[in-house]
Chain A
């Protein structure tokens, strides 16, 4: 029988059929972070369930600590108990923690692939909806809630129902100024934020095959913003080149054996999907969101949508979004004054993202009225960027160069865009209040965010 990538991984992880469409699924990797990691471990232990497979479990703090240069675990005091609790519980059960100040610390979805912990063909879960990111490595990865997290700690399994399959194919080549971030925002704009609800997504087509791994991670990261818990790219030579030699990746003869297995994973030519959608890459321009849902997105050279011309069922949401964002329908979005720029998050904080932003910033200076932050995704990325002199490029241009963490993507560490101020952010959600109460967020690629910082307004990166 012809099978999809998703089906091959899913089916091979079914321990037993529980009936009524539910199965017990084995989980190969459990990743923990400070928001829920320590609490979930404590809860499991209190219920009498010590971690079932501590050696398949890895953690790193990312959500609740400051990213201020020179930060310690105490710089943002509210996060301290969570970080200490994670440290204590992981250490008690021999779970490897990439702790603050240590090599390997970073945003959990940056850390997994970087360490070679995220492998093709594995099931991977984490208490965070952007766990879909790891699908860029060909891993079946999805976000879970706290109770499910306790279940995985206790049993190394999950009770799950198989989702339907959606294949999103991108055909063609990236146009100038366009990145994986623009591809996925464009797709969400076409399909809407709920199109993936109840589905697993496979990204395919010549446009995806040509992407390096870091771009594939960005693509899969935003899968949850169209409603699907998991999004994947089939592993290929690009994946293996990225993975070879990483700390936790298999080595020597074991590597060859693993690659031979991984080569069997891609979707068979005649495998069927429940839904197919194809995007012509010629139509993908640099994107910017205008509203308060990732589906509120347009090409940067377009006008702000007018709710009276929009679909009737969305009119109310569009009006509310424009009001919150302080925007006038019909006006060009380009030129809208910006107060903050945030380059970071599990979506766009990898070395290629920082290089793309730095290539726009180099030799220029940010607009005076803009506060611009660069928050690298991990300690290693920060070191690599510094070795290339990217920190100097940003610092000379008036940007802040900060320590690794989630930071202003969700403001869980107190780092916020002030009320009423406008931000261009490389993160993943433009929800009401996401970057702080009253904050107005526009999602874009790192190069577009850098361009906004230079111009002091939403700008078309192709014109810089």
Chain B
């Protein structure tokens, strides 16, 4: 997994509720022979492009200075809906490193941690203020997300702490692979399974 330590950059205020993973990446892009790395151009395609394929200038992702922003600001429940991990790959392909929202869809949240993208949960008033500070000074405003110290630094220099599970923080900072860690508990897994085969033999086909 990719490491995540700190990101500083422009944040795109996509201030919608319930941004679902269907909106982030259309399902057919995950059927077509597009690689994980090649999904960036299709990220948010339903709002970035008009039906004729041309860019929609009204979409914030197509406006400066947000075009190459590594951070997204959003309202509640970002990443709800489908479990498709392609949504995270597409965000990554678009250059997104972190998303700041009041909370995230549970499966999306887990998928982010598998791919080195940091979902940062902050109260809505904090997200709104970050969005206001971004818009107040377009071109100059930058946000920093610092995982080591668990804080967001706003464009005006305010420091906002955020919470993250210690286990996940450690895994992200060090780019650890879950499977390798789990494999170190192989003996415990086998012991559990042996006991379960006697306790619930009907489960074991």
**A145 interface contact, C-beta 8 A:** yes
Answer whether residue B136 sits at the interface, using C-beta atoms and an 8 A cutoff. Answer: no
Q: In the bound complex, do residue B188 and residue A122 qualify as a contact, i.e. CB atoms below 8 Å apart?
A: no
Instruction: Find out whether the CB atom of B182 lies under 8 angstroms from the CB atom of A157.
Output: yes
Q: A16-B185, A261-B200 are in contact. Are A81 and B33 (CB under 8 A)?
A: yes
- Whether a CB of chain B sits under 8 angstroms from the CB of A143 is yes
- Across the two chains, which residue of chain B brings its CB closest to A40? B85
* A residues 282-303 in Cβ contact with B at 8 Å: 293
B27 at the interface (CB under 8 A from A): yes
Interface segment, B6-14, B16-24, B62-70, B148-156? B16-24
Report A-chain residues with C-beta under 8 Å of the C-beta of B192. Answer: 15, 26
B32: CB under 8 A from chain A?
Answer: yes
Q: How far is the CB of A204 from chain B (nearest CB, A)?
A: 22
Among A20, A63, A147, A414, which residue has the most Cβ atoms of chain B within 10 A?
A147
Question: In the assembly, what is the distance between CA of A297 and CA of B138, in Å?
Answer: 38
CA distance A194 to B114 in the complex (A): 22
> B5 an interface residue at 8 Å Cβ cutoff?
no
Residues of B within 8 A of A20 (CB): 165-167
Q: Does A322 contact B (CB under 8 A)?
A: no
Is A198 an interface residue when CB atoms closer than 8 A count as contact?
A: yes
Interface check B193, CB cutoff 8 A: yes
Does A89 reach chain B (CB closer than 8 Å)? no
Query: Is there a chain A Cβ closer than 8 Å to B159's Cβ?
Result: no
* Chain A residues positioned under 8 Å from B181 (CB to CB): 159
- Residue B59 at the chain A interface, CB threshold 8 Å: no
Using CB atoms, name the residue of chain A closest to B108: A145
B196 on interface, CB distance cutoff 8 Å: yes
**Given contacts A20-B167, A24-B185, A78-B32, are A254 and B201 in contact (CB under 8 A)?**
yes
In the bound complex, CA of A121 to CA of B203 (Å): 9
Tell me which of A22, A127, A255 contacts B167 (CB under 8 A): A22
User: What total of A-B pairs shows CB separation below 8 Å?
Assistant: 174
A21: interface (CB < 8 Å): yes
Complex contact A433–B33 (CB within 8 A): no
Across the interface, which residues of B come within 8 angstroms of A63, CB to CB?
A: 27, 31
What B residues does A127 contact at CB under 8 A? 83
Known contacts A24-B185, A193-B77, A258-B202: A144-B106 contact under CB 8 Å: no
Assuming the contacts A15-B185, A20-B165, asked whether A143 and B107 have C-beta atoms less than 8 A apart, the reply is yes
Residues on B with beta carbons closer than 8 Å to the beta carbon of A410: 22, 27, 82
CB pair B28–A78 under 8 Å, yes or no, is yes
Question: Residues 79-92 of chain B: 1 if any A CB is under 8 Å from the residue's CB, otherwise 0?
Answer: 01111111010000
Is A242's CB within 8 Å of the partner chain B?
A: no
Partner of A150 from B26, B179, B193 at Cβ < 8 Å: B179
Q: How far is the CB of A440 from chain B (nearest CB, A)?
A: 14
- Residues of A36-74 at the interface with B, using a CB-CB cut-off of 8 Å, are 47, 49, 55-56, 63-64
Tell me, in angstroms, the Cα distance from A154 to B204 when the chains sit together.
17
| A306–B95 alpha-carbon span in the complex (Å) | 38
Does A248 belong to the interface (CB within 8 Å)?
yes
Residues of B within 8 A of A438 (CB): 51
Hey, which chain B residues are within 8 Å of A434, CB to CB? 22
Asked whether A433 lies within 8 Å of B22 as measured between CB atoms, the reply is yes
Please measure, in the bound complex, the distance between the C-alpha atom of A295 and the C-alpha atom of B23, giving whole angstroms: 17
Q: How far is the CA of A193 from the CA of B22 in the complex (A)?
A: 15
Chain A: residues with CB nearer than 8 A to chain B?
15-16, 18-22, 24, 26, 28, 35, 47, 49, 55-56, 63-64, 78-79, 81-82, 119, 121-122, 127-129, 143-148, 150-151, 154-157, 159, 161, 163, 193-194, 197-198, 224, 227-229, 248, 250, 254-255, 257-258, 261, 293, 313-314, 316-317, 320, 410-414, 419, 429, 431-434, 437-438
In the complex, 19 of the A-B residue pairs with CB atoms within 8 angstroms, ordered by the A residue number, are: A19-B167, A24-B189, A35-B27, A78-B32, A82-B31, A145-B114, A146-B111, A148-B110, A151-B178, A155-B182, A157-B182, A197-B80, A317-B16, A317-B18, A429-B20, A429-B22, A431-B81, A433-B22, A437-B26
User: 5 tightest CB-CB pairs across the interface, nearest first?
Assistant: A147-B114, A250-B202, A145-B111, A145-B85, A146-B85
Q: Which B residues are closer than 8 A to A by beta carbons?
A: 16-18, 20, 22-23, 26-28, 30-33, 46, 51, 76-77, 80-86, 88, 103-107, 110-111, 114-115, 165-167, 178-179, 181-183, 185, 188-189, 192-193, 196, 200-205
